[in-house]
Structure 1
């Protein structure tokens, strides 16, 4: 190896190590807690009186006594919700009746169904909408 290559490699090692440390710290900060599947009573306690939304296209407002308000692209609808066999069952909206697993990580929630992509959203207090 030439002296220039050796000098370049010596200077690169600290830079590479610093960059690697920066990237690993950024990944650990953004990772948060892992998703965990909620069971029946946890689903009720977590969703009741809250809104689940992707903050752009849709929102589900889980009212008391199983009332459900659905908002999709500005169109408002109603339906019902309940928990059965550790799944959230929704009735209403364009998807009709369906039961979904509920997975949670802090305020982030995923509604998962076999063979489909999850509905990913943020759980928050219900928002006033026009």
Structure 2
């Protein structure tokens, strides 16, 4: 019992100190002055996965890394770089998993084919069930 209490006391402060004390990146939570560039940045950020949260885009995540990635996207858009070039750089750095729109290639084709295969399999099973009920 004492060990469990001690373990709890040691882990609680660690969770509270998980974020760094560094300030957020300059453009992490600040929009670009040009509305057209901000629209491009926002559209790109909504298609990029937060590497910490994994279920959220970097546009929606409060994770520190997502803020850094938002700042990077805004800086590059402001510098005139195209969104697709930024996406390609991030995919090259973090892998295709960072994108909510993975490319169709030898590694990802099962991800694209699996929903179709599941639908066909479900229809085949349902067809067999309905045939048995009629007889």
TM range (shorter): under 0.3
Q: TM-score, normalised by structure 1?
A: 0.27
TM-score normalized by the length of structure 2: 0.26
- Structure having the higher strand fraction is 1
